[in-house]
Amino acid sequence: MKTLRVMMLFGLCTFSSAYSEADNILIGLSGSISCYKTAELIAKLKNAGYHVRTIASNSALDFIGCSTLEGLTGYPVISSYSIKGDQMQQSELVKWADLFVLCPATSNLINDIAAGNDDGLLSATCLAYDFSERPLVIVPEMNAVPFLQDDITKLERLGVQVLPAATESSGMLLPCKEIFVALNTPKNGNKTAKR
């Protein structure tokens, strides 16, 4: 199983990883006001040349519209509203993605994944994704909550990568620029990242 190290470089979170080799990025959104930052992240990734698709929980769609995500990615949003029992779309997305990023990831979603609950489309997709072969990155909406730390630690032990909060005391989602830098870092410094 791949293990990736999180390190702080000039105040920006970066990974020593193979992310720059990923062409197809699947972004999973869970219900949070921070969904607006994800829209900015998607725009940056698309401008850098990545193919981006989205899967969203129903509560995420209360904060950001399907038309916004579809306009940014050029692909339809996968949600339980759109899938209506057709698990083929979910299965195809899991195979398509080189990198799966959950941004924002609510404490509810993180808890579901850590507990192995697949009762929602987004958590079921996470559990179906083979993160031993391709990275799964979680960008928590907040991680300063003590009970959430146990779930984060468990997921990190399994090989899931969890980006830190913007500041340790705030527990807020990282700024879009820092998330982009973390995902767009060349492997071991010897490959050119997409710009």
Residue-wise pLDDT for 66-80, tens only, equals: 999 999 999 999 987
Tokens of 9: 């470089």
Q: What's the average model confidence in pLDDT over 41-62?
A: 95
Check pLDDT > 80 for residue 124: yes
| More confident of the two residues 56 and 186 | 56
Query: Parallel, antiparallel, or unpaired: how do β-strands 24-29 and 51-56 relate?
Result: parallel
3-state secondary structure 1-51: CCCCCEEEECCEEEECCCHHHCCEEEEEECCCCCHHHHHHHHHHHHHCCCE
5 domain residue, yes or no: no
Identify the CATH number of the domain in which residue 83 sits: 3.40.50.1950
The rounded distance, in Å, linking the Cα atoms of 105 and 13 is: 17
Given a contact cutoff of 8 angstroms between Cβ atoms, the answer to whether 102 and 126 are in contact is: yes
| More confident of the two residues 7 and 174 | 174
94 domain residue, yes or no: yes
The conformation of residue 78, written as its DSSP 8-state character, comes to B
The conformation of residue 165, written as its DSSP 8-state character, comes to P
Given a contact cutoff of 8 angstroms between Cβ atoms, the answer to whether 148 and 134 are in contact is: no
The rounded distance, in Å, linking the Cα atoms of 55 and 181 is: 22
193 domain residue, yes or no: no
**Residues 132-155, buried b or exposed e (16+ Cβ, 10 A)?**
eebbbbbbbbbbeeeebeebbeeb
- Give me the domain span that covers residue 131: 20-188
15 domain residue, yes or no: no
113 domain residue, yes or no: yes
Residue-wise pLDDT for 17-48, tens only, equals: 444 456 999 999 999 999 999 999 999 999 99
Residue-wise pLDDT for 148-182, tens only, equals: 889 999 999 999 999 987 765 555 788 889 999 98
Task: Please state, rounded to an integer, the average pLDDT across all residues of the chain.
Answer: 80
11 domain residue, yes or no: no
Residue-wise pLDDT for 78-95, tens only, equals: 987 555 555 667 788 899
Distances 65 to 31, 36, 123 between C-alpha atoms, Å: 12, 10, 20
28 domain residue, yes or no: yes
Least-confidence region, from 1-10, 40-49, 184-193: 1-10
**What's the pLDDT score for residue 29?**
97
The number of domains in the chain is 1
Check pLDDT > 50 for residue 140: yes
3 domain residue, yes or no: no
